[in-house]
């Protein structure tokens, strides 16, 4: 029996957040609803962040209100602080299985630029958010950015990433998505990073989040599979990047990841024809 790999679709949030043109709530909902019919079990649909800094996500509450949820799909939103948590609570629907994501960086330069604080301070800020989620029975997922390279500090040492993951999981034993934020990772360096991180968390609690800026995303996924990871983030149509990481366009495309996993003999439970339709819809939003 083929091994199962779980895909976390991040296009509607991490993909669309970087688009400059106005994308209506109706178009976002149509994309998410189509993705919900593909067999995906995890779809990131928005974020409760300051609309001043990420205006494309200002309507996440409306997106949640208008979704037509599938019962087996978990819909995730990014929640960086308690203000975001309050926004999430107000928008939360009883009929939707939801998850929140929190994020930190593995480099001090990116943490200071993106969060205006040190790594340690960013972890401390997340504690009340995670505690509130646990009290309300909401699943929490963590993101760690810049796991191989930082646009400000350069190469990031593998042990620094492992230490950062350990700090985050000390708050709660959450799954951690490891982000190659500017797409400079190579299989050799990703492998070294993962070997260090596996000392802080088991492979079953890790996910890979690779940008394809350098054309290495699929090779990095193969390396991650070899080291036991069975969860990956991807964006339909290859949308997005990080608005705070210069030169980081392009999450790895969901359709490309599915093709790779199919070729390698893994099972995902996802209909590639539906994903192809969603990719066409997503690319039209650019």
Any idea which residues carry the catalytic annotation?
Answer: 242
Q: Name 234's bridge partners.
A: 9
Q: ∠64-122-80 over CA atoms, to 5°?
A: 10
Cα 225 vs. chain centroid, distance in angstroms? 18
- In angstroms, rounded to a whole number, what is the distance separating the alpha carbons of residues 103 and 113? 14
Rg of the chain over all Cα atoms, to the nearest angstrom: 17
Residue 127 CA: distances (Å) to CA of 2, 122, 133, 134, 170: 38, 9, 10, 11, 10
Q: Which two tokens stand for residue 48?
A: 């409760």
Residue 22 CA: distances (Å) to CA of 129, 168, 175: 30, 34, 32
| Residue 148 burial (10 A CB sphere; 0-12, 13-18, 19+) | buried
Helix (H, G, I), strand (E, B) or coil at 30: helix
- In angstroms, rounded to a whole number, what is the distance separating the alpha carbons of residues 183 and 167? 24
| Residue 187 burial (10 A CB sphere; 0-12, 13-18, 19+) | middle
Helix (H, G, I), strand (E, B) or coil at 282: helix
- In angstroms, rounded to a whole number, what is the distance separating the alpha carbons of residues 281 and 55? 21
In 3D space, the residue among 182, 188, 193 whose CA is nearest the CA of residue 247 turns out to be 182
């Amino acid at each position: 029996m083929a091994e199962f790999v779980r895909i976390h679709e991040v296009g509607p949030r991490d993909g669309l957040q970087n688009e400059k043109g106005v994308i209506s709530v109706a178009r976002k909902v149509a994309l998410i609803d189509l993705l919900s019919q593909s067999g995906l079990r995890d779809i990131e649909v928005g974020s409760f962040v300051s609309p001043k800094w990420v205006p494309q996500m200002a309507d996440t509450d409306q997106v949640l209100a208008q979704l037509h949820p599938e019962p087996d799909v978990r819909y995730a939103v990014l929640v960086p602080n308690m203000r975001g948590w309050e926004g999430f609570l107000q928008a939360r629907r009883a009929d939707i299985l939801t998850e929140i994501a929190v994020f930190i960086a593995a480099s001090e330069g990116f943490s200071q630029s993106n969060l205006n604080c040190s790594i340690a301070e960013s972890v401390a800020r997340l504690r009340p958010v995670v505690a509130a989620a646990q009290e309300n029975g909401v699943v929490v997922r963590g993101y760690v950015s810049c796991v191989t390279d930082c646009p400000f500090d350069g190469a990031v040492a593998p042990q620094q990433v492992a230490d950062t993951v350990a700090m985050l999981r000390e708050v709660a034993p959450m799954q951690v998505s490891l982000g190659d934020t500017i797409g400079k990772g190579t299989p050799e360096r990703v492998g070294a990073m993962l070997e260090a991180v596996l000392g802080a968390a088991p492979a079953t609690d890790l996910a890979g989040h690779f940008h394809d800026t350098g054309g290495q995303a699929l090779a990095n996924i193969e390396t991650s599979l070899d080291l036991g990871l069975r969860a990956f983030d991807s964006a339909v149509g290859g949308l997005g990047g990080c608005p705070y990481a210069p030169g980081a366009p392009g999450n790895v495309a969901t359709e490309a990841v599915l093709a790779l996993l199919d070729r390698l003999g893994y099972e995902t439970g996802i209909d590639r024809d539906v994903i192809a339709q969603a990719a066409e819809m997503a690319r039209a939003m650019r």
